Amino acid sequence: MAIVETEVEKPAAQGAAMEISVSRQDLVRELNATQSVVERKTTIPILSNFLLEADGDRLHITATDLDQAIRTSTAVKVKKPGACTIPARKLYDYIKLLPDGDISIKLLENHWVQIRSGRSNTKIVGMARANYPQVPEFPSVAATSLPHLALKTLITRTIFAISNEESRYTLNGALLILKAESLAMVATDGHRLAFVEKPNEVLEGVSGEKRVLVPRKALWELQQLLSASEDERIEFADDEHTLFFRVGPRTLSTRKLSGQFPNFEAVMPRDNNKFAVVQSSELSAAIQRVAQFADERSGAIRMRLEGNELKISANSTESGESEDTIDTPYSAEPIAVGFNSIYILDFLKALNNEGEVRLEFKDSQAAGQMRPEDPDAEYKYRYVLMPMRI
């Protein structure tokens, strides 16, 4: 009997005796929140796995691709504390197909993991816990509380303007700017720039100005976490190499982007004195119709202001030509500027195609600027677009 006890105690000390009971609904929810981080195609097999750690009355789930990680937890019945790693995609897909009720998860020999639910009994081949990479812990000091809704709005109104060109490293993320009484975010791909600020937002513990570059993939993950949370505030912290965002029971950590973000203040138009105000929904509908006849590669459309009208047109030798007209008060000298139609639609979509937008121009060669036409708006939102030759 003593021999059996010794065998049981030994794996437990190594975190190899894990046995838990968990609600299928709770487990699916947390696996869903973390599975998008897992690398599908990786040369390091352990990165395709979830790390499951049971302790006290909680199950902690971790997923990482080395650049970023999500760590979450849920309440469980822990019969034996311990840890294991399980192929993420296989586990997630299987658990989703089980009926609601309690699931038993038990670590067996050679890193196999047994999953029981009702009359279903499955064994999945795992990997050694010792091979799983160390994930940075949320700093114990100097966290800043950020408003949930404001951060979500900042991301929604800038993420689409982040560059997809990997060579432009410092443009592969958005710049988060924290001040004592405001927070702002800016993104650019060199052809357009989105800047949004939430003024009159007191941030405790922030003095002066703090700027951090948040990678695009981390912003996408953060957006998903915020959408799934009802907490009014989240916690933000950073150290020398890592950014941390704690949203309820879930923590996203990501490597900082190094390098210098462009001086975006310098490219903000200051003398665009020709402007028109139109309904977002009307502008979006007109551009979508006209863009069907734009050059497929450039998506270029022409916007012409003249005599209380905004004319939007496009043509190509392959598909034909199209023009739409929107009535708007305008009596200054005529102006025509070319823009990428997709870029304008991205901006209007970020506004949910609601309200009025102000289109500001200087001439056909200068950058155009768009912003919501609402002097009492909660957010200051500016969208700068480089013109195109048509």
pLDDT for 6 equals: 33
pLDDT for 16 equals: 55
The separation between the first and the last C-alpha atoms of the chain, rounded to the nearest angstrom, is 86
Record: fold of 144-260: DNA Polymerase III; Chain A, domain 2 (3.10.150)
How far apart, in whole angstroms, are the C-alpha atoms of residue 235 and residue 250? 11
| pLDDT per 10-residue tile (average), the chain, 390 residues | 35 62 96 90 91 96 96 96 96 96 96 96 96 92 91 97 82 93 95 96 88 95 94 93 95 91 91 95 98 93 96 94 96 95 97 96 95 92 92
pLDDT for 305 equals: 96
Record: fold of 2-131: DNA Polymerase III; Chain A, domain 2 (3.10.150)
CB 115, CB 90: distance < 8 Å: no
* Span(s) in the chain for CATH 3.10.150.10: 2-131, 144-260, 268-385
**What CATH code would you report for 268-385?**
3.10.150.10
The closest of 314, 286, 318 to 300, measured between CA atoms, is 314
Q: Return the structure tokens found at 152.
A: 């979500």
pLDDT for 8 equals: 34
Task: Write down the pTM of the prediction.
Answer: 0.89
